[in-house]
Structure 1
Amino acid sequence: MAESVQYRLYTMCMIQDGNRVLLVNRPDGKGFPGYLAPGGKVEFPESIADGAVREAEEETGLKVSGLVFKGLDEFCDTHQGLRYMVFNYLATSFEGELLAHPPEGELVWVEIGQALELPMQPWFKRRFPLFFEPGTFELSFVRDGSTNETLGATMRHYGRETQPI
């Protein structure tokens, strides 16, 4: 087990327009290739929600508002002493124009019911439907990075009749 712990804070902001969502098709060279919602690092000392708004605008050109907190997805690596936390939001209000040359990849409006057919990172595919369910989610995974062994997982959904995911 690592002697010290590093914390990394990130956001993800799903932008919804009716029955469509805006996804970024990240190329292989950017890391995490495939379709994802906009997001990124929270800068110190901005709030988590302000980080989500900023990242959405930087990656898409859209100024989102009326954020709804949907949940936390975190990954802990006991070998590296790393806790990587992603705070997830849903935005259904926005203004502005999509960037002509977005920095993270092509921007695509996708029907919600067809999105899971697209190539996505497994962790995003697992998280995607949770943005559209009532309540909030908590996903937490603990791994030993030296062996890639999963040591534990917590998956909960708050605000619906059955809690575990």
Structure 2
Amino acid sequence: MTTINYGMYTMCMIQDGDKILLQNRPGERGFPGFIAPGGKLEFPESLTEGAVREVREETGLIIKPDDLIYKGLDEYVNPQNNFRYMVFNYLACAFKGELLADPPEGELIWVDINEAVSLPMQPWFKRRLLLFFKEGTFEISVVWDEEHQRTVKDKVRMLK
């Protein structure tokens, strides 16, 4: 039997009116550019517990699990390495607290939603960004061919 390895992560877009909170992640942290807070789940925490923790650690803001809106799944599958990387995405429009003065993942800025896509960011995050604000949930599924270094399947679906 083949062992499949899973990487489980959360991402939480924080919205305040027409603005969203993004962090400008430096290159030495990996995935440089603007991105929403998030990170790897710690076992045995739930998906929402992980999202709440990551927001608190990376921004200083406090969100309640009941205030999270599940927006969708972004998954990357590498069959040659038997690896599935899954990001569970949330939107939070209610929060408390103050932003960290020296955030660990990069400078935090409030950006107008319509201007955010023009900021430097990873292509995978740019295509996901506006899906947070569409009605329903999204599913992004990418299958990577490690041997040929290319994407063999790439689907984006909006679900009701």
Same fold by TM-score greater than 0.5: yes
* Separation in 1, partners of 2:131, 2:69: 12
* Separation in 2, partners of 1:78, 1:88: 23
Deviation of 1:146 (Å):
2.7
Deviation of 1:157 (Å):
0.3
Q: Which amino acid in the other structure matches residue 24 of structure 2?
A: N
Q: Which residue of the partner structure matches residue 114 of structure 1? A: 115
Q: Which amino acid in the other structure matches residue 42 of structure 1?
A: L
* Separation in 2, partners of 1:126, 1:31: 18
Q: Which residue of the partner structure matches residue 141 of structure 2? A: 140
Within-5 A mapping of 1:11-26: 11-26=10-25
Q: Which residue of the partner structure matches residue 36 of structure 1? A: 35
TM-score, normalising length: structure 1: 0.93
Deviation of 1:153 (Å):
2.2
Comparing 143-152 and 101-110, the one that deviates more: 143-152
* Separation in 2, partners of 1:116, 1:86: 20
Q: Which residue of the partner structure matches residue 4 of structure 1? A: 3
Within-5 A mapping of 1:1-165: 3-65=2-64, 66-159=67-160
* Separation in 1, partners of 2:93, 2:107: 20
Aligned to 2:11, what secondary structure does the other structure show?
Answer: strand
Q: Which amino acid in the other structure matches residue 115 of structure 2?
A: Q
Q: Which amino acid in the other structure matches residue 79 of structure 1?
A: Q
Q: Which amino acid in the other structure matches residue 79 of structure 2?
A: T
Deviation of 1:13 (Å):
0.2
* Separation in 2, partners of 1:149, 1:62: 38
Identity %: 59
* Separation in 2, partners of 1:59, 1:133: 25
Write out per-residue CA displacement over residues 40-80 of structure 1, whole angstroms, 9 at most, x where no aligned residue: 00111110011001000100000113000000000011121
How many pairs are equivalent?
Answer: 157
* Separation in 2, partners of 1:36, 1:150: 22
Aligned to 1:93, what secondary structure does the other structure show?
Answer: coil
Q: Which residue of the partner structure matches residue 162 of structure 1? A: none
Q: Which amino acid in the other structure matches residue 43 of structure 1?
A: E
Deviation of 1:103 (Å):
0.4
TM-score, normalising length: structure 2: 0.95
Gaps of at least 5 residues in structure 2 are none
Q: Which amino acid in the other structure matches residue 23 of structure 1?
A: L
